[in-house]
Amino acid sequence: MSLKTKLASIAAALMCSASFAQAEAEHTLVVSSWVPPTHIINSEILTGLQAMVEEATDGRVTTEVRMGLAPPPAQMDLVLDGAVDIAYVFHGYQPGRFTGYKLVELPRVEASAADLSAAYWDLHQSHLAKLNEHRGVEVVGLMVHGPGQLHTGSAIEGLDDIAGLKLRMPGGVASDIGGKLQATGIKVPAPKVYETLASKAADGVMMVTESRKSFRLTEVAPHFYSVPGGFFRGSFAFIMNEDVLADLPEDLRTALQDKVFGPTLSRKAGEAWDAADVEAIDLTNATNGNTNVLISDADLGRFDSIAAEVESAVIEEVSAKGIDATAALKTFRANLAQN
């Protein structure tokens, strides 16, 4: 066989191999993502989702992430319209559309994001699904991020320093807490936080600890002020187009529902947040000019009173939607204690 013939044979074999690999996945689920490419949702959670999907279906189903298709508040509409198959929504970005999620965003919960996310899934199944706030789409996972804390351009020594600050707040319980602390809230989607702080349009942000790394807050908000268990938590849902899920062959649909979606995806997502929070604290402590201040015992007592007021208001707000929010919160905390 001539060298030319050998090369042609090798090329043909490689082409066949590539074609086989592409054909191996019978279904590709398109996933929308709106955070920066290096954010842990992309680098850990969505890559983990792809691995779980492929393993559960023996490679017959895979995922493809597409970034920047629409701003965060439009993600649910992307799924409803069939523009993508799966997306994740941050509930606090759409006040009025979602309410029940606020029960899992309450402050001072000293538990891992993994345990919180798993308990959140149980709460949704037992209570929150009755609110039908995700109507038109299938909820396939829920996650709660790590403790939401305060990141500012100027040093914060105590709660009194927060009054009057212009803070980016993500909505939900974070905004409720910020209001109680007499800060002025501005709404900015997460992808716009860096430029908002760099331009001095805000004095700081209330965001998850992990954001110090993924949104480069160590550069524009060097001062980190924290409360044990967080000023708040953040609630997300993974949602899927109902028709796409229903149209999958029954064996594939069952494999995804039994081995990937629900409690499995929820806990895995929480685990990624927990690991990322540790990295962000390490980065903060290692970065020149950054400070890391824990709330004082005296201020913590004051904050707990504020947290109790917010909790009462959230219970009243969620109960008005038609469920027993007191019972729901009790169930959530009982499930959390068992994790």
Alpha-carbon distance of 233 to 107, in angstroms, equals 7
Mind spelling out the 3-state secondary structure of 215-235? CCHHHHCCEEEECCCCCECCE
Model confidence pLDDT, tens digit, residues 88-147: 999 999 888 999 999 999 999 999 999 999 999 999 999 999 999 999 999 999 999 999
Rg of the Cα trace of the chain? Answer: 22
Mean predicted confidence (pLDDT) in 77-87 = 97
pLDDT tier, 78 (very low <50, low <70, confident <90, very high otherwise):
very high
- Tell me the residue length of the chain: 339
Return the structure tokens found at 312: 């009462």
CA distance 235 to 121: 11
- Please, what are the domains in the chain? 24-337 (3.40.190.170)
Q: Assess contact for 183 and 164: CB atoms under 8 A.
A: yes
Give the model confidence (pLDDT) of 139-177 as tens digits.
999 999 999 999 999 999 999 999 999 999 999 999 999
For 157, phi and psi rounded to 5 degrees?
-105, -25
Judge whether residue 18 has pLDDT over 80.
Answer: no
Global model pTM greater than 0.75 = yes
What mean pLDDT do residues 262-266 have? 98
Helix (H) or strand (E) holding 272, with range, is helix 263-286
CA 167 centroid distance within chain: 20
Three-class SS state of 64? strand
